[in-house]
Amino acid sequence: MIRGLRGAITVEADIAEQVWEETAKLVTVMAEQNNITPEQITSVIISTTPDITSAFPAKAVRLMEGWQYVPVMCMHEMNVAHALPLCIRVLMHADVTVTQKEVQHVYLNEAVKLRPDLVK
């Protein structure tokens, strides 16, 4: 069954290398914690807060070993007052056998503030 896996991470500054490094870290942890391979992933949607403009986070995913054929798309989040800055969010669609409740969502760095109820 196709399930949505959520994740988010923040960067310290809008620097391309940080955007790519933290995006790759988040996607890797999401896959590892959910025991999935790139072949099981249907698509990945990545959004950033509007203050991230130095790089496309999707580039980091496309350059990861075995991930070059996973469809990835980037976009900006809504510009909401007082939102967590410098944040990269990921919605990964994957073919998994676990229930919705068993999906492991991943929040790293300052993004743990977004969903403290899901952080382990």
Q: Output the CA angle 66-68-73, nearest 5 degrees.
A: 130
Catalytic site includes residue 3? no
Catalytic site includes residue 77? yes
- Strand partners of residue 75: 47
Catalytic site includes residue 74? yes
**Catalytic residue, candidates 74, 87, 102, 110:** 74
Catalytic site includes residue 62? yes
**Catalytic residue, candidates 65, 89, 102, 110:** 89
For residue 116, count other CB atoms closer than 10 A to its CB.
Answer: 8
Is residue 3 marked as binding? no
Is residue 107 marked as binding? yes
Beginning with the edge strand found earlier in the chain, give each strand of the sheet holding 87-95 in spatial order: 72-76, 41-48, 87-95, 2-10, 106-107
Amino acid identity, residue 13?
Answer: A
**Catalytic residue, candidates 3, 22, 87, 107:** 107
Q: Output the CA angle 88-103-40, nearest 5 degrees.
A: 80
Is residue 69 marked as binding? no
**Catalytic residue, candidates 3, 17, 77, 102:** 77
Catalytic site includes residue 69? no
Contact 110, 83 (CB under 8 A): no
**Catalytic residue, candidates 6, 21, 39, 65:** 6
Catalytic site includes residue 87? no
Query: Which segments are annotated as binding site for prephenate?
Result: 6, 89, 107
Residues catalogued as catalytic? 6, 62, 74, 77, 89, 107, 115
Query: Which segments are annotated as binding site?
Result: 6, 89, 107
